[in-house]
Amino acid sequence: MKNKKIGIVTISLKNGGLERSCANLSKILSGLKFNVHMISLNPGSDYDFCGDYYCVKKGGVGDQNFLKRIISFYNLKRYIEKNKLDYIIDNRIRRSSFKELIYSFYIYRSTKVIYMVHSSKIESFFPRIKWIAKLILSNSYQTVTVSKGIYQDVCKKYNTNKCMTIYNYVAPMKLDIAKYQLHDNYILFLGRIDNKIKNISLLLKSYKRSNLAPKIKLYIVGSGPDSEVITKEIHELGLNKDVIQFPFTPNVNTFISQAKFLVLTSKLEGFGMVLAESLLLGTPVVSVN
């Protein structure tokens, strides 16, 4: 298997646990002497990775018109064929039935495809039309889930025998020189600021009811679509002096290592990269079930 050419397809390499897991995967596969190609649909990267890099969209991250999408599909197919990739590991969100038919039977036609499922919200990783999802599954080489719970859900819903569980690889954690001067005692939330999934409102209300403040602060580290909503809620709860917000940073080790504990309040998760990373650094975790 060594020296096989593997393409890791991801929506992007910016700001997220899924994206970080793709970067980590490139490192371990490269270390195992595979020829790695990192294929990102959108430009830019917040994480170090190994292998050749190809960006499908040459412009910004906004929606493309129909013609540009067709050209992108064609260019991606050409890249896969030109580099003679043996395997594709596809980490994209895959809701569109029509688009996934194009990927499965046109773009990936000459390559063995491994579909990754990173979330317990499995409908995000399969076409909405069930028979098309099952057709694409049958046409794939394998489907890999990042937890046994997700594996059970996929097998039950799609009745497939092409499914297995492989946990995300977590890279060795090294302490970086602190970008921020952290003088407080604090607990830590680390992740995308998406309240529908991460349930940060529950975190704020729980912290408000606890006896931690004012001696122990709550640090919220991350960026996302609900950043302003969460800032407003912090003000409404009267937590301005006790909750401190930091923008997204890929260098989170300093935050994790100095925290009293890390908190996870998500409604949905897949593998939960921050949980494993926190434990690797010896920082306790308080999490919902």
Q: pLDDT digits over 109-164, tens only?
A: 999 999 999 999 999 999 999 999 999 999 999 999 999 999 999 999 999 989 99
pLDDT at 173 over 80: no
Are 90 and 196 within one domain?
no
| Band of residue 251 on the pLDDT scale cut at 50, 70, 90 | confident
User: Exposed e or buried b for every residue in 215-241, given b needs 16+ CB within 10 A?
Assistant: ebbbbbbbbbebbeebeebbeeeebee
Tell me what the pLDDT averaged over the chain comes to: 92
Are 223 and 81 within one domain?
no
Are 158 and 233 within one domain?
no
Give the bridge partners for 6, in sequence order.
36, 87
Share of the chain above pLDDT 90, in %: 78
Peptide bond into 214 cis (omega under 30): yes
User: What is the distance between the alpha carbons of residues 41 and 65, in angstroms, rounded to a whole number?
Assistant: 15
180 within domain boundaries? no
Nearest to 26 by CA among 43, 5, 55: 5
Are 157 and 27 within one domain?
yes
CATH label of the domain that carries residue 268: 3.40.50.2000
φ, ψ at 269 (rounded to 5°) = -150, 165
225 within domain boundaries? yes
Are 68 and 206 within one domain?
no
Dihedral of alpha carbons 159, 117, 146, 268, sign = negative
Of the three residues 165, 195, 225, the one that is the final residue of a domain is 165
Are 31 and 59 within one domain?
yes
Are 199 and 244 within one domain?
yes
pLDDT of residue 271: 85
Of the three residues 132, 165, 198, the one that is the final residue of a domain is 165
176 within domain boundaries? no
| Band of residue 16 on the pLDDT scale cut at 50, 70, 90 | confident
Are 49 and 160 within one domain?
yes
pLDDT of residue 67: 85
Are 130 and 25 within one domain?
yes
| Band of residue 61 on the pLDDT scale cut at 50, 70, 90 | very low
For residues 226-230, give the mean pLDDT: 96
Are 161 and 27 within one domain?
yes
Residue 42's domain spans which residues?
Answer: 5-165
65 within domain boundaries? yes
pLDDT of residue 230: 97
Domain count of the fold of the chain: 2
pLDDT of residue 151: 97
179 within domain boundaries? no
178 within domain boundaries? no
280 within domain boundaries? yes
Are 112 and 216 within one domain?
no
pLDDT of residue 36: 98
Q: Is pTM, for the whole model, over 0.75? A: yes
pLDDT at 62 over 70: no
pLDDT of residue 159: 94
The pair of three-digit structure tokens given for residue 2, joined into one six-digit string = 């060594």
pLDDT at 55 over 60: yes
pLDDT of residue 4: 95
User: What is the distance between the alpha carbons of residues 19 and 41, in angstroms, rounded to a whole number?
Assistant: 12
282 within domain boundaries? yes
Are 19 and 161 within one domain?
yes
Of the three residues 107, 136, 165, the one that is the final residue of a domain is 165
Between 156 and 15, name the one with better pLDDT: 156
pLDDT of residue 270: 86
CB-CB contact of 46 with 17 (8 Å): no
